[in-house]
Amino acid sequence: MGRPRKFDEHQVLRSATETFWTSGFAGTSLGDLMRATSLGKGSLYGAFGDKQALFQRVLDGYCANVTAGLREHLSGPDSSAASRLRALFDAAVAAGASPGPQRACLLAKSTAELAASNAEVAVRARQTFTTFADLLQAEVESAQAAGDVPGDRDPRRTAHHLLAVLRGMEALTEAGMDESVLRDAADTALEAAGLDQA
Amino acid sequence: MGRPRKFDEHQVLRSATETFWTSGFAGTSLGDLMRATSLGKGSLYGAFGDKQALFQRVLDGYCANVTAGLREHLSGPDSSAASRLRALFDAAVAAGASPGPQRACLLAKSTAELAASNAEVAVRARQTFTTFADLLQAEVESAQAAGDVPGDRDPRRTAHHLLAVLRGMEALTEAGMDESVLRDAADTALEAAGLDQA
DNA sequence: TCTGTTCTGGACCGCACGGTCAACATGTGG
DNA sequence: CCACATGTTGACCGTGCGGTCCAGAACAGA
């Protein structure tokens, strides 16, 4: 019973995500959020709590999405684990190649802004990156089993290296570095993992 | 002529750097800056212009310092270019290994927060990273000349990869990842460059 | 239809924000 | 020692902040 909500929670969270993504946590005001979501303050506070709590919801949702996306990609229809890994790095290069101002990964931005002062954000970041590493490791192992990666490679170590390169490419993308830089980083990383280029 | 300044500009910039570094641009208020610098608003505005201008001064100075530091390190007293590169990555691992909340590189934080919306920040970031790449490339070439890096490596490509790993390690450090992750990333990157581990 | 419950919209709060300004202090050059 | 140029201080300004609250709207169940 009671009056039903007029808004769709998912849609509101999507709008809020967009806003925080563009302006960061400190750079986003409640007014911005009200405009983006078309909700009054009362509804916003009633449904999500204060700005901090809403941000946490947004960040958690974003991390879940990104993790799910990566998991889906890595178990995708692509023929081999090796080609899926290559596709992943190709996508990272392509993301940085598009012209215009770049909007980096929300998780990267949030970690840079808040991880040092907000334990919850730090935990979420750490956990998400750890999951990334695990997924990459599984993929390396799979490629190894298929004979596309030499057996002498330590999958965990390799995954950690690939993760670092991916995050580094993200950072270089933020700075608007040339595509060639990203290309070089991606190719060298894949080579180091033992994956020959097509 | 006129009344002389009571403060040391370098000292003030150092304090302002500290403040922006801790809280980011949007997260730092004029009050924070006044407290940190012990200057009144008038002096701050008279000497540096508005908050935005002061931030740009701070960021430019930081980039200059970091670049000079890297340049100095890479032309340091260490015996070989190879060992200097190893020391560089060791330092990056060590930076992430210290306990407690991590405060990432100011340039990384500023790029994440502002590069998409502030052209001057984006230009500075891009330029600084490009300089990093150039310095790394020179070092790889030097190591190659000394026979510590195989001659078939493309120095530019290798430098781009090393740069990506360094920035990635920075990002993982922000998130508080285990030292072993950084260690793996660093070791694998150096190996990929053709540098054997000691 | 009436009651209880929830949701909505916006008025309202105190505060701190970024920024301006004018009165005053402190030097230098003549 | 005086006139001038500059630096300092902090009061002041309008605005927008994050957050609270409540009167009224919109439903479900009796």
Q: Residue B23 is part of a domain; what is its CATH number? A: 1.10.10.60
Sign of the CA dihedral with A32 first, then A35, A37, and A42 last = positive
**Buried b / exposed e along B78-87 (16+ C-beta atoms within 10 A):** eeebbbbbbe
B158 pLDDT band, cuts 50/70/90, is very high
Residue B1 CB closer than 7 angstroms to strand C? Answer: yes
Contact B115 A165 (CB under 8 A): no
Same domain, B103 and B161: yes
Q: Which of B93, B114, B124, B181 to mutate to test the interface with A (most CBs of A within 10 A)?
A: B181
Phi-psi sector, A38: left (phi>0), alpha (psi -120 to 50), beta = left
A196 touches chain B (CB under 8 A): no
Same domain, A69 and A7: no
A166 touches chain B (CB under 8 A): yes
Q: Residue B146 pLDDT more than 90? A: yes
What are the φ/ψ torsions at residue A94 (nearest 5 degrees)? -60, -40
pLDDT above 70 covers a percentage of chain B that reads 98
Lowest-confidence segment of A77-81, B5-9, B37-41, B164-168 by average pLDDT: A77-81
Q: Residue B103 pLDDT more than 90? A: no
Contact A170 B171 (CB under 8 A): yes
Give A188's contacts in chain B (Cβ within 8 Å). Answer: 157-158, 160-161, 192
Contact A111 B164 (CB under 8 A): no
The domain boundary, picked from B49, B71, B87, lies at B49
- A7 membership: H or E segment, kind and range: none
Q: How many residues does chain B have?
A: 198
Instruction: Check: CB of residue B160 under 8 Å from CB of residue A142.
Output: no
Residue B187: which CATH number?
A: 1.10.357.10
Same domain, B112 and B132: yes
A156 touches chain B (CB under 8 A): yes
CA distance to partner chain A, nearest, from residue B3 (Å): 38
Give chain A's domain count.
2
Question: Within a domain: residue B157?
Answer: yes
User: What distance in Å separates the CA atoms of residue B37 and residue B11, rounded to the nearest whole number?
Assistant: 8
Site of tokens 């201008």 = B53
The parent domain of residue A27 ranges over 1-49
In this prediction, residue A197 carries a pLDDT of 65
Same domain, A2 and A96: no
Q: Quick one: average pLDDT of B154-177?
A: 98
Q: Residue B144 pLDDT more than 80? A: yes
Token output for A71: 């998991």
Q: Which of A49, A52, A53, A54 is nearest to A36 (CA)?
A: A54
Q: Quick one: average pLDDT of B61-71?
A: 98
Same domain, A7 and A33: yes
Residues of chain A with pLDDT under 70: 78, 197-198
Question: Within a domain: residue A198?
Answer: no
In this prediction, residue B143 carries a pLDDT of 96
Chain-wide mean pLDDT for chain B?
Answer: 95
This prediction's pTM: 0.95
Question: Within a domain: residue B172?
Answer: yes
In this prediction, residue B196 carries a pLDDT of 74
Question: Within a domain: residue B7?
Answer: yes
Contact B104 A116 (CB under 8 A): yes
Phi-psi sector, B140: left (phi>0), alpha (psi -120 to 50), beta = alpha
In this prediction, residue B198 carries a pLDDT of 53
The domain boundary, picked from B49, B69, B85, lies at B49
In this prediction, residue A53 carries a pLDDT of 98
Instruction: Please give the residue of chain A at the shortest CA–CA distance from B109.
Output: A112
Same domain, A81 and A162: yes
Question: Within a domain: residue B138?
Answer: yes
Give A161's contacts in chain B (Cβ within 8 Å). Answer: 165, 184-185, 188-189, 192
Lowest-confidence segment of A194-198, B8-12, B189-193 by average pLDDT: A194-198
**DSSP codes joined into one string, B92-154:** HHHHHHS-S-----HHHHHHHHHTTT-HHHHHHHHHHHHHHHHHHHHHHHHHHHTTSS-TTS-
Q: Quick one: average pLDDT of B121-130?
A: 98
Instruction: Please give the residue of chain B at the shortest CA–CA distance from A162.
Output: B185
Same domain, B119 and B165: yes
